Each structure stands twice: as structure tokens, then as C-alpha cells.
Amino acid sequence: MSYLTFNKLNNMSQSIQKSLNENYQFSTSNTVFLSHRHDDKEEVKKAVGFLAQFGQRTYIDWLDHSMPSQTSSETAEKLKQRINVSNKFVLLATPGSIQSIWIPWELGLADGAKGMDRIAILPLLYKDTTWDEREYYGLYNYIEQVADGRWGVFKQGESNGVTLEHWFEL
């Protein structure tokens, strides 16, 4: 099994761009809340396209025009509401996301609101085998690619999981 890499994501760019154009917009009926570091905007755009290939609409906070221009308790309240109404929570874990102060807070909210089975970590790495992760990431499912090229959701250290398409339907 392997993780999503910057190279894989860039190689998918044509099919992702089509999906991105159709799904990269704010809607209250989104199914996936994508937790991410704001400095990773280009990667976030591509991750939205990646998820759209599996029929998912994605909530991105900086596209939400109802968000205040400066972060505040109102920002936190709106994020909390969006996490609660989303069907799934995916954390885009890039090499720099460990620096985010919002990601751990959002993950904690999702844990309480969604339960462990509706949360997945999507590592985005330079190499597909290892990464620096937060210790508590190991509690959650991971999105990985299996040998036949399909994407799945797995508990850490387990080789049996479900296809990403099926996980989104659960």
C-alpha cells in the first residue's frame, strides 16, 4: 500500500481539473469537510479534485463567503457547524500541516461529532512510504492506494479495509 504523493496528485491533474471545476464551490450540502493548512492552498485545490473523482463535494472554509474576514470565535462556531453537517471528515496531512493550530482542533471536534469511522487522514507526501505524523493520527483511518491502483480506507497497521467509494457511502 502507498500514500498519495505530490507526484501522483500532479499526474492526475487533467482528470482532477475537470472534477475540480465541477466541485470546487461552497455549498451547505457538502459531504466532506476537508481539514487542511491554509498555506497548502494549491494542494487543497487538487485534493478537492481527487475527492470529487469519488463523487464527493468538499467544504473548504476559505471559499465560504459567510466566514468572517478575520479569524474569531465566530469562525470557530461556523467551522463547528460545518463539521457537524458534513457526512465525512478528511484531514489533508501535508508535510507542513503539523504546524497548523486549527487542524488538531477540527479533528477533535470531528471525533466528538462524527465518531472514528467517519474520519480519515489523507497523507500527501513527497515519498509514498513514510511521513512525520502526529501521534494521535494513528487512532484514525487512513486513505491509501493498494497494489491494483484502487484507493481505500484502512485502520493503521491493517491490510484489510474498504474502497474509498464504499467508505463515502457508509
Across the chain, mean pLDDT equals 87
Which domain, by its residues, includes 80?
A: 4-169
Assess contact for 114 and 88: CB atoms under 8 A: yes
Question: Tens of pLDDT along 80-108?
Answer: 999 999 999 999 999 989 899 999 999 99
CATH number of the domain residue 81 falls in: 3.40.50.10140
Q: Is the pLDDT of residue 145 over 80?
A: yes
Residues 6+ apart with CB under 8 A from 133: 93, 98, 121, 123
The pLDDT value recorded for residue 26 is 53
| Total of domains in the chain | 1
Look at residue 19 and tell me whether its pLDDT is greater than 90: no
Q: If pLDDT is split at 50, 70 and 90, which confidence band does 157 have?
A: confident
Name 26's Cβ contacts closer than 8 Å, sequence gap at least 6: 59, 60, 63, 64, 65
